[in-house]
Chains A and B, each alone.
Chain A
Amino acid sequence: MLEVTNLHARVVDVEDGEILKGLNLTIKPGEIHAIMGPNGSGKSTFANVLAGRIDYEVTDGDIKFEGESILETPADERAHKGIFLAFQYPAEIPGVRPWQFMKAALDAKHESSGEKKLSVREFSKLFDSKVAEVKINPDLMKRSLNEGFSGGEKKRNEMLQLAILEPKLAVLDETDSGLDVDAMRIVADAVNGLRSPDRSFILVTHYNRLLNHIKPDVVHVLANGQLVETGGPELAVEVEREGYKRFLEEHVPANA
């Protein structure tokens, strides 16, 4: 599904802005990978680079999705291929309603794949059922996208979009940060409900908390722009207990 080789990426417009320094990762269909790491290790950068954010420039290496390089593929087309990023800080967008946004997104996806677009009635039915499924307050859906939403509501709204768009690869960028236990369960339920043999997930997180609710197949530790250790769920437990000190000491960046 996803094959990342020797990925180097930097922030555009920042000198010495290299954040990812040779990241390698392979994800098979149906797998859930957790990427853990301290602040500044490059977790969010990696998530954003996968989704095609233009503030980051890939300087070396490659990202292949279903066998094809997507480095030159813009964000909208990556979404059509089935990549989804649940944002750490979803943008607030004045005057754009969640319904209208999701209808446009799904229409664009169907148009790209040559499928028939849903009618307004069909889409409304789908939308309402997903709203109920992720237990987001329907009143919020009358507002502008994310405007006046609490942190938890924003994350639920990301899960709503995930459930509607049904991507092949969903990247959750610190979706658990700032969530209370109930909201965390909603996120976990959404992910667990969408697990399937051909859908993969990357959970980017600081903590083991979320991983108690969503069982990952593989856990990676990201430090200094590289995946420095890979293991099973027990690695997450170690990180939770010991912190990141060991990883940072063992893997001093080559150019430091």
Chain B
Amino acid sequence: MTTIAPATTIASYARDFSKNEDGAEWLTALRNKAWAEFESLGFPTKRRGNELWKYTDLRVLDTKAFSRAEAASALSSDDLRKIAPWNDDWHTAVTVDGQFSSELSRNLSGDDIAISNLIETAERDKAAVEPALGSVADIAGNAFVALNTALFKSGVLVKVDRDAEPAQPIHILHIVTAAGADNRAFYPRILLLAGENSKTSIIESYVNVSEGSQFTVPVFEASLSDGAAVRHFRVQLENEQAIHLATTRTEQPDSAVFNSTTFATGPAIGRNDVHTNLSGEHSETNLHGLYITDGSSHQDNEISTTHQKPHGTSHQFYKGILAGKSRAVFSGKVLVQAGAMKTLALQKDLNLLLSHGAEIDTKPSLEIYADDVKCAHGATAGHVDPTMLFYLMSRGVRREDAAIMLVSGFASEIIEEFEPESLREFLYSRLERIIPELDSEGIL
């Protein structure tokens, strides 16, 4: 008989929860509710029947306690530029070691956009925040959304006015510095309110330059109004001991578009849980991403879209590069509800396995309850193509360089989507460093 030991680490999170100092009653009430949900759920396990966590083992969270980071180490803006995507012209909100940094943030307000400390704004302007916070990222049944909601510090609120089309992207940058202690936890929270017919480009990036083990639980919650278009870019540069469990949730009424491209690399355990809810007609979502895993890292992509109304479009297109003994998961789901006629849904997951020890579990799935829809899915996993390798080598390109060229070429299809150019260039320079170091276990 197997007994499941109760998590002994919950006390650590309870301690952090008791340190909350919210001024607004409604926020305290929301936090209490979230904490109660987390306490009753506990961390998910891969026990039988739990399809959502079948491939990702979180037992480490039962034995290793993480404490919420309460203070930031010093970081200059020069240092920042060296480690993270940066552009002086962008609207940038910076969080250092979990603390909102007014000094490093810049261009926070424009004619028709406002970026602010979420908690500060919540306490000042209940009407603006209360109806939205938690309305898209539901705490019910989701331990990590609940935990984030109970424990997030500051957070970032991005408000884009109706018809606004900010010329520069909005960058929400989270840095974990090298100077802080190990075993810290971070709960980044972003609430995006995209006004009617607005067009916004938002970059969400996580840069961890610490060496030790850290636990990051981000929640990105996007509430779009009719006709709003959001271009979202997510950059996850974690260290190899980190645990990074991210949630992205959108609500998309009529003609609302949410297009997202992610770049994920690094962590011991990473999870990118994205769900876009197409609740209106003619709404659209393109969820694309690249994951690169090496060593013993694990990256789980839990990507899903619900079509509720007619004429919706969704594309899921992920690419993986796996090396060493790493493991990745792509679990793509599309749910087409009854009545969501004329839905167009495509799912694709392509993987390049650089070593024999790497493993991918890929399972695109469609669940369709409407007639008259067009849906397709596919997944592949393969090694570097010897025919391509020979072609490059036959022109004199050295074997190692040819392999790097092929892997970079495979990645570039996703990288090319990143905008603006300075962000793309930043990612290319990262790739140039990452790819030659990938452990192919001697087969390349």
Taking the complex as formed, is B392 at the interface, i.e. its CB lies under 8 A from any CB of chain A?
Answer: yes
CB within 8 Å for A165 and B409 given contacts A53-B390, A54-B386, A93-B388? no
CB within 8 Å for A95 and B410 given contacts A76-B402, A101-B405, A108-B401? yes
Residue of B nearest to A83 (CB): B394
Q: How far is the CA of A59 from the CA of B386 in the complex (A)?
A: 21
Within 8 A of B (CB), among A100-118: 100-102, 104-106, 108-109, 112
User: CB within 8 A of B409: which of A80, A84, A85, A144?
Assistant: A144
Taking the complex as formed, is B406 at the interface, i.e. its CB lies under 8 A from any CB of chain A?
Answer: yes
Across the interface, which residues of B come within 8 angstroms of A74, CB to CB?
393, 399
Residue of A nearest to B391 (CB): A91
Instruction: Find out whether the CB atom of B394 lies under 8 angstroms from the CB atom of A51.
Output: yes
Taking the complex as formed, is A35 at the interface, i.e. its CB lies under 8 A from any CB of chain B?
Answer: no
Taking the complex as formed, is B36 at the interface, i.e. its CB lies under 8 A from any CB of chain A?
Answer: no
In angstroms, how far is the closest chain A Cβ from the Cβ of B10?
Answer: 46
Contact with A along B356-387 (1 / 0, CB 8 A): 00000000000000000000000000000111
Taking the complex as formed, is B396 at the interface, i.e. its CB lies under 8 A from any CB of chain A?
Answer: yes
In angstroms, how far is the closest chain A Cβ from the Cβ of B289?
Answer: 16
Within 8 A of B (CB), among A45-80: 51-55, 74-76, 78-80
Which bucket holds chain B's interface residue count?
Answer: 20 to 34
User: CB within 8 A of A96: which of B394, B396, B406?
Assistant: B406
Instruction: Find out whether the CB atom of A104 lies under 8 angstroms from the CB atom of B397.
Output: yes
In angstroms, how far is the closest chain B Cβ from the Cβ of A203?
Answer: 17
In angstroms, how far is the closest chain B Cβ from the Cβ of A255?
Answer: 29
Residue of B nearest to A85 (CB): B394
Instruction: Find out whether the CB atom of A79 lies under 8 angstroms from the CB atom of B396.
Output: yes
Instruction: Find out whether the CB atom of A79 lies under 8 angstroms from the CB atom of B388.
Output: no
Residue of A nearest to B387 (CB): A91
Q: How far is the CA of A165 from the CA of B397 in the complex (A)?
A: 12
Across the interface, which residues of B come within 8 angstroms of A52, CB to CB?
393-394
Instruction: Find out whether the CB atom of B405 lies under 8 angstroms from the CB atom of A96.
Output: yes
Residue among A93, A106, A112 having the largest count of chain B Cβ atoms under 10 Å:
A93
Taking the complex as formed, is B48 at the interface, i.e. its CB lies under 8 A from any CB of chain A?
Answer: no
Taking the complex as formed, is A94 at the interface, i.e. its CB lies under 8 A from any CB of chain B?
Answer: yes
In angstroms, how far is the closest chain B Cβ from the Cβ of A95?
Answer: 3
Across the interface, which residues of B come within 8 angstroms of A96, CB to CB?
392, 405-406, 408-409
Taking the complex as formed, is A87 at the interface, i.e. its CB lies under 8 A from any CB of chain B?
Answer: yes
Q: How far is the CA of A100 from the CA of B396 in the complex (A)?
A: 13
Residue of B nearest to A82 (CB): B396
Instruction: Find out whether the CB atom of A108 lies under 8 angstroms from the CB atom of B408.
Output: no
Instruction: Find out whether the CB atom of B411 lies under 8 angstroms from the CB atom of A95.
Output: yes
Q: How far is the CA of A95 from the CA of B409 in the complex (A)?
A: 4
Instruction: Find out whether the CB atom of B386 lies under 8 angstroms from the CB atom of A101.
Output: no
Instruction: Find out whether the CB atom of B408 lies under 8 angstroms from the CB atom of A95.
Output: yes
Instruction: Find out whether the CB atom of B405 lies under 8 angstroms from the CB atom of A75.
Output: no
Taking the complex as formed, is A232 at the interface, i.e. its CB lies under 8 A from any CB of chain B?
Answer: no
Instruction: Find out whether the CB atom of B409 lies under 8 angstroms from the CB atom of A76.
Output: no
Residue of B nearest to A104 (CB): B397
Across the interface, which residues of B come within 8 angstroms of A224, CB to CB?
none
Residue of A nearest to B414 (CB): A95
Q: How far is the CA of A109 from the CA of B393 in the complex (A)?
A: 11
Across the interface, which residues of A come within 8 angstroms of B386, CB to CB?
54-55
Instruction: Find out whether the CB atom of B411 lies under 8 angstroms from the CB atom of A93.
Output: no
Instruction: Find out whether the CB atom of B388 lies under 8 angstroms from the CB atom of A105.
Output: no
Taking the complex as formed, is B19 at the interface, i.e. its CB lies under 8 A from any CB of chain A?
Answer: no
Q: How far is the CA of A144 from the CA of B410 in the complex (A)?
A: 11
Residue among A79, A91, A95 having the largest count of chain B Cβ atoms under 10 Å:
A95
In angstroms, how far is the closest chain A Cβ from the Cβ of B7?
Answer: 44
User: CB within 8 A of A93: which of B399, B401, B409?
Assistant: B409
Across the interface, which residues of A come within 8 angstroms of B410, CB to CB?
94-95
Across the interface, which residues of A come within 8 angstroms of B396, CB to CB?
76, 79-80, 105-106, 108-109, 112, 165
Taking the complex as formed, is A148 at the interface, i.e. its CB lies under 8 A from any CB of chain B?
Answer: no
Residue of B nearest to A106 (CB): B396
Across the interface, which residues of B come within 8 angstroms of A55, CB to CB?
386
User: CB within 8 A of A101: which of B390, B395, B413?
Assistant: B395
Instruction: Find out whether the CB atom of B390 lies under 8 angstroms from the CB atom of A104.
Output: no
Taking the complex as formed, is A40 at the interface, i.e. its CB lies under 8 A from any CB of chain B?
Answer: no
Instruction: Find out whether the CB atom of B409 lies under 8 angstroms from the CB atom of A161.
Output: no
In angstroms, how far is the closest chain B Cβ from the Cβ of A92?
Answer: 8
In angstroms, how far is the closest chain A Cβ from the Cβ of B8?
Answer: 48
User: CB within 8 A of B395: which of A54, A95, A165?
Assistant: A165
Across the interface, which residues of A come within 8 angstroms of B406, CB to CB?
93, 96
Instruction: Find out whether the CB atom of A105 lies under 8 angstroms from the CB atom of B395.
Output: yes
Taking the complex as formed, is B412 at the interface, i.e. its CB lies under 8 A from any CB of chain A?
Answer: yes
Residue of B nearest to A164 (CB): B395
Taking the complex as formed, is B59 at the interface, i.e. its CB lies under 8 A from any CB of chain A?
Answer: no
Residue of A nearest to B404 (CB): A104
Across the interface, which residues of A come within 8 angstroms of B398, CB to CB?
76, 108
Across the interface, which residues of B come within 8 angstroms of A78, CB to CB?
394
Instruction: Find out whether the CB atom of A105 lies under 8 angstroms from the CB atom of B397.
Output: yes
Within 8 A of A (CB), among B206-261: none
Q: How far is the CA of A165 from the CA of B398 in the complex (A)?
A: 15
Q: How far is the CA of A75 from the CA of B394 in the complex (A)?
A: 5
User: CB within 8 A of A161: which of B385, B387, B395, B399?
Assistant: B395
User: CB within 8 A of B413: which of A54, A85, A95, A106?
Assistant: A95
Instruction: Find out whether the CB atom of A101 lies under 8 angstroms from the CB atom of B393.
Output: no
Q: How far is the CA of A112 from the CA of B401 in the complex (A)?
A: 14
Q: How far is the CA of A96 from the CA of B384 in the complex (A)?
A: 14
Q: How far is the CA of A112 from the CA of B397 in the complex (A)?
A: 11
Across the interface, which residues of A come within 8 angstroms of B411, CB to CB?
95
Taking the complex as formed, is A90 at the interface, i.e. its CB lies under 8 A from any CB of chain B?
Answer: yes
Across the interface, which residues of A come within 8 angstroms of B405, CB to CB?
96, 100-101, 104
Residue of B nearest to A96 (CB): B409
For the A-B complex with A55-B386, A74-B393, A94-B412 known, give 8 more contacts whose Cβ atoms are closer than 8 Å.
Answer: A75-B390, A78-B394, A94-B410, A94-B413, A95-B410, A105-B395, A106-B396, A108-B396
Q: Can you list 13 A-B contacts (CB < 8 A)?
A: A54-B390, A74-B393, A74-B399, A75-B394, A76-B393, A79-B396, A93-B388, A93-B406, A95-B412, A96-B409, A104-B401, A105-B396, A106-B396
